[in-house]
Amino acid sequence: MTIEEIIKHQEQLIEFIKIMNIPKYPTEENEMIIAALEKQIPKEATTQGISQDGCWIIKCPECDTVMEGKRNIANYCCQCGQALKWGD
């Protein structure tokens, strides 16, 4: 089962719980699962430039935090935990 499939399943569960109007099952838990899993799907970091000592300066697409590091080492945002993919 992929992350995308689990997210889809959680979304379907939220729909079902809302349609059936089951107050015993709040959808907050499902929403938290979706939010946590979405951060594991890598998003492309925006390259801002290269610093004087040769480190890449990138920006998190999720929270706009600017980080500096060696290419392909910062695989997660240090601020929000978003999985990062480096652009070319």
Where on the chain is the footprint of Zn ion (CB under 5 A)? Answer: 60, 62-63, 65, 77, 79-80, 82
Smallest gap from residue 45 Cβ to Zn ion (A): 9
Rounded to the nearest 10°, the torsion over CA 13, 14, 19, 25 is 90
Give the shortest CB-80-to-Zn ion separation in angstroms: 3
* Residue (12 or 48) nearer to Zn ion, CB: 48
User: Exposure string (b/e) for 48-73, b if CB count within 10 Å is 16 or more?
Assistant: eeeeeeebbebbbebeeeebebeeee
Minimum distance, C-beta of residue 27 to Zn ion, in the bound complex (Å): 25
